[in-house]
Amino acid sequence: MARIVDEAQNVVGEKIKKYRMERKLSQKDLSEKLEVYAIYICRGSISRIESHERTVTDFELRAMAKVLCVSIEELYEEKNI
């Protein structure tokens, strides 16, 4: 079932992109590394997550945090807090 929506549906997309780029991973690299955790998200879906167009499940979020070597809390932190 597709999880594509019309308005911003996740608050972690910007941070996922930030940490992915800091680690010099392409969207395809991130997609492939998530497979180790049995999370199958194509490159296009990574793009939609980063642009807040796709929701993220708790299982996906946990695996992304592991791949990006950050805590889940770091993915939720706001810029000016």
- CATH number of the domain residue 63 falls in: 1.10.260.40
DSSP state of 6: S
pLDDT at 45: 97
In a domain, 5, yes or no: no
pLDDT of residue 1: 55
pLDDT score recorded for residue 15: 96
Query: Which domain covers residue 55, as residue numbers?
Result: 13-69
The closest of 54, 11, 19 to 30, measured between CA atoms, is 19
Q: Which residue(s) pair with 4 in the sheet?
A: 54
> Is residue 61 assigned to a domain?
yes
What is the reported pLDDT for 81? 46
- Residue 58 included in any domain: yes
Total count of domains within the chain? 1
Structural domain includes residue 3: no
Average pLDDT, 10 consecutive residues per value, the chain (81 residues): 64 96 98 97 97 94 98 85 46
Which residue's entry shows tokens 């049995």? 38
